[in-house]
Amino acid sequence: MPERIPVQLSGRSYEIILGRHLDRELLSCIETIKPHGVLLVSDQNVFARHGARYEALLAGAGAIRRLIVPPGESSKSLMQLATIYDAALAPPALERSSLVVALGGGMVGDLAGFAAATLLRGLPLLHIPTSLLAMVDSSIGGKTAINHPAGKNLIGSFWQPQAVLCDLTLLDTLPAREFNSALAEIVKYAVIGQEPALEDFEAHKERIKARTAGRLDEIVAACIRHKARVVAEDEREQTGRRVLLNFGHTLAHVIETRCPGRFLHGEAVAIGMVAACRVSRRFAGLDAQSPARLAKLLASCSLPVKVPAELTRQELLAGLGGDKKREAGRIQFVVTPRFGRAEVASLALDDALLDCLLEQP
Ligand SMILES: NC(=O)c1ccc[n+]([C@@H]2O[C@H](COP(=O)([O-])OP(=O)(O)OC[C@H]3O[C@@H](n4cnc5c(N)ncnc54)[C@H](O)[C@@H]3O)[C@@H](O)[C@H]2O)c1
């Protein structure tokens, strides 16, 4: 039986439906939403593998028009957004009751989500995440965005979907590097959430890496429940609760900006989390063994844990200086005083912090 995980938001609650072979659940979502026409947004990789199946399933929802963008982060752009608007508004134009279906990873989810948020002042949206990262992270919580030459995700909005349909069989075609990269985000939930979950991950990592049904389903469900809870408590990042999900992301953002194209997001987060553990050890009382424990676990998932040698102290400082969290020579940094707990620390942006971040494990 599929699991139904609610995201409780006043007036706009929705469900994340998690399971395998969710065709019946998709049909029942369509029956509930009763859209007049569908705009299916996907990328070429995903559409080639799964598009025909979903177009057939969506056939009962009225005319389908599709917009298939090239894969990769560069499609999260104003240009591709404009092609979605053009497809949606070409006669006969979509109506307020038409449904946008985002079939893809986080890139497609963010792009199609932002199009849904802005077309005709907001169209209903259905997420069908196809990457592990999209299942455990980006499809939950309503953040949508495109990139701008000035930076990532600078143009966006909060727009909650009607439902998220997480069919784990879609992961069968996901490339290994993409899968492993998302394991970093899964480990992050364990580090900031509950330590037993980390022990569980360590004990079963071979089966998780092998995408074994059952074990993978349980861990994905645990991550979704965690994020759904956090989003319900702090939908718009106002109470500080949602910020804790940024554990490891401060250094990761600097690495992604300074070494473009070299690391997938989760890979940069893996490096960032190990560095955040060193910072936590120095400034937040984390025990001495934990940074190495986390580095070992992440490395065993084929994830990098070393800060790239070419990242200089000046670049790091400049990168952190551009970070939203910096204020008057200090930085708001997510630390873990012990695995299973996270909090925000205000740290001086000084040599001690830079040394700690740049230290090799
Ligand atoms: N909105 C949020 O809250 C949020 C949170 C985290 C990340 N993000 C965004 O998510 C994006 C990253 O997401 P991602 O890692 O899923 O990247 P992605 O969407 O670019 O997908 C990664 C690659 O995997 C391919 N792919 C996806 N599913 C597949 C499948 N089932 N079979 C075969 N290939 C498949 C894609 O074509 C692509 O080449 C970034 O743009 C990031 O900013 C958003």
Tens of pLDDT along 230-281? 999 988 888 888 899 999 999 999 999 899 889 999 999 999 999 999 999 9
Could you tell me which residue, 295 or 326, shows the higher pLDDT? 295
For residue 143, give the ligand 1 atom closest to its CA.
1
Domain boundary among 145, 173, 201: 173
Q: Is pLDDT of 322 > 60?
A: no
Say which of 50, 188, 227, 281 is annotated catalytic. 227
* Residues of the domain holding 94: 3-173
Q: Is 348 exposed, middle or buried (0-12, 13-18, 19+ CB in 10 A)?
A: exposed
The preferred substitution site among 22, 42, 46 for testing ligand 1, maximizing ligand atoms within 8 Å of CB, is: 46
Are 163 and 263 found together in one domain? Answer: no
- SS3 category, 125: strand
Number of structural domains (the chain) is 2
Are 97 and 236 found together in one domain? Answer: no
- How much is the pLDDT for 150? 84
The Cα 155–Cα 161 span in angstroms is 18
Q: Is pLDDT of 294 > 90?
A: yes
DSSP 246-272: GTTHHHHHHHHHHSTTTS-HHHHHHHH
Q: CA-CA distances (angstroms) from residue 204 to 22, 212, 302?
A: 26, 10, 15
Are 182 and 159 found together in one domain? Answer: no
Whether the ω angle into residue 175 lies within 30 degrees of 0, i.e. cis, is no
Q: Is 143 tagged catalytic?
A: yes
CATH number at residue 80: 3.40.50.1970
Are 181 and 163 found together in one domain? Answer: no
Are 330 and 237 found together in one domain? Answer: yes
Q: Ligand 1: list residues with CB < 6 Å.
A: 43, 45-46, 49, 71-73, 76, 104-108, 110, 130-131, 133-134, 137-138, 141, 143, 153, 170, 173-174, 178, 265
pLDDT band at 116 (very low <50, low <70, confident <90, very high): very high
Least confident segment among 8-12, 132-136, 282-286: 8-12
- How much is the pLDDT for 278? 97
**Verdict on whether the full-model pTM lies above 0.75:** yes
Angle of the 195-209 helix axis to the 176-192 helix axis, nearest 10: 170
- List the helix and strand counts (H, then E) for the chain: 14, 12
- Please tell me what DSSP assigns to residue 70: P
Are 63 and 95 found together in one domain? Answer: yes
Q: Is 20 tagged catalytic?
A: no
Contact yes or no for 111/156 (Cβ under 8 A): no
354 Cα–ligand 1 center, Å: 31
CATH number at residue 261: 1.20.1090.10
- How much is the pLDDT for 325? 53
The residue whose CA has the least distance to atom 19 of ligand 1 is 105
Domain boundary among 173, 206, 239: 173
The residue whose CA has the least distance to atom 12 of ligand 1 is 106
Q: Is 325 tagged catalytic?
A: no
The residue whose CA has the least distance to atom 29 of ligand 1 is 174
